[in-house]
Amino acid sequence: MTSIATQIKINEVLEQLGIQEINPGTSTGSQHFSTGDILESYSPVDGQLIAKVTTTTASEYEKVILTATAAFQTFRQIPAPKRGEIVRQFGDKLRQNKEALGKLVSYEMGKSLQEGYGEVQEMIDICDFAVGLSRQLHGLTMHSERPGHRMYEQYHSLGIVGIISAFNFPVAVWAWNTALAWVCGDVCVWKPSEKTPLCGIACQNIIAEVLKENNLPEGISCLINGDYTVGERMTQDSRIPLISATGSTRMGKIVAQTVAARLGKSLLELGGNNAIIVTPDADIKMTIIGAVFGAVGTAGQRCTSTRRLIIHESIYNKVKQALTDAYKQLRIGNPLDENNHIGPIIDQNAVKQYQQALDKIIKEGGKLIVPGGVLSGEGYESGCYVQPVIAEVENHFEIVQCETFAPILYLMKYSGSVESAIALQNGVAQGLSSAIMTNNLREAELFLSVAGSDCGIANVNIGTSGAEIGGAFGGEKETGGGRESGSDAWKVYMRRQTNTINYTTSLPLAQGIKFDLD
């Protein structure tokens, strides 16, 4: 059998993206330097070694921070529309490299090729958004209570933005942060997941070209590689005013406490336990499409993946049968073959967690409607391909209350009004994405009301998975409360300042206070 790496000509992809066989893992713009341990990147698609990366040592980290600090002094003085022009050029470079970068994302992470291309398109879209935003970084003007005074607020660049990203979106989440941070005048230091380091190097190489072509400081975009200890340096570093961290709730709690201890700012995008409510008035065909893609897309490794399906008892069996029939049509295999729906999960540790989750479902009294298992044989040599699972459960099961990063979909019934379904949906610690399938206007409006979904994202007749660039992305409760991408998410990357100007010859005090000096 021809290896998948050969099929996509991975060496040509790496060469186009400026990645050598053994590549340094620390970078400030065009200069690469690193002497740390070797980090090997294996593809979950075929188990093959793609390339090796050197990790960042403590002294190299210090050099990166100093370089970024110096770059900030220059970059913050450049007018925002001019910074937007740099982001526009970066977006154009991404367009030129979309095919190669999309293939690398798919091969190194394991998501389908279409999703790999889609992730790069998200990067392009956020660049377009940020370019427009660069001319709209606005404040407010308020009326002063003192005569002859003008009061307003403005936003200033914050400084270094530290970005810690996860493997499941190895390039898009970085772009969500950097595109906005750059137009705001910030510089960025990025630690990508140690499971997808090559995607990070590829992105850094692309932006390095743009910075060099515009004679800009290399420290505007910096890359560091390594395990959690590298991330710890960032979270503990008071020179980094904002840490944006994407990952598990467990990780996020550590980051939040560490950054808060030094009174820094954190932007957290953490775990999801997302549900779709299916009411008697739902369009079943739409429901199945949304639920299946939400549950098995990216092999269930999205933070917005559909984990729970809360179905009214009157249509429960009908929906269950339709789902079961749909799962029989799913094709699992090489994600670079666009005929397949599902690729592998990220690594053997993820496979172990998947198997443990299945055992726990049975132990707690659940029932596997579509049983799972690890696939083996030709095409599955990496050992990372698993069968999607459908299980009947109760919402209070411990395993249901946790987020399992795998294609496991939980079915549960509700009876009575939609309020009871909303209570089930809200009855978990996480609060990222949610959806309701209904053609009943009252149910839809209730779901979106203050008494409805407690998640950061609430959809009607759309699944839980996926989001548009124009809206702020993020969730509540143990999802962390952070917001990235669209709307006014840019404000977290800046510091707010209130200004008052007295243009008279006297000095009246606020609140009518008298303080006369003879």
Distance CA 79, CA 184 (A): 10
**Within 10 Å of residue 444's Cβ, how many Cβ atoms?**
21
- Choosing from 269, 403, 478, 484, the catalytic residue is 269
Show the CA angle centred on residue 320, arms to residues 319 and 324, nearest 5°: 115
Tell me if 345 sits within 8 A of 301, measured CB to CB. yes
Distance CA 493, CA 158 (A): 6
258's CB contacts (< 8 A; 6+ apart) are 232, 235, 236
Question: DSSP characters for 331-356?
Answer: -BS-TTSTT-SB---S-HHHHHHHHH
Tell me if 269 sits within 8 A of 302, measured CB to CB. no
Instruction: Please list, residue by residue across 87-107, b when 16 or more beta carbons sit within 10 angstroms of its beta carbon and e when fewer do.
Output: bbbbbebbeebbebbbbbbbb
411's CB contacts (< 8 A; 6+ apart) are 309, 311, 316, 320, 323, 369, 390, 391, 392, 393
Q: What's the gap between Cα 123 and its chain centre?
A: 12
Distance CA 183, CA 157 (A): 9
Joined together, the tokens standing for residue 513 give 């206070």
Distance CA 369, CA 355 (A): 16
Question: DSSP characters for 414-454?
Answer: E-SSHHHHHHHHH-SSEESEEEEE-S-HHHHHHHHSTTS--
Catalytic site residue 269?
yes
Distances (CA, A) of 502 to 41, 141, 143, 508, 513: 60, 14, 12, 9, 16
**48 phi and psi, to 5 degrees?**
-85, 150
- Choosing from 303, 384, 443, 478, the catalytic residue is 303
List residues with catalytic annotation.
269, 303
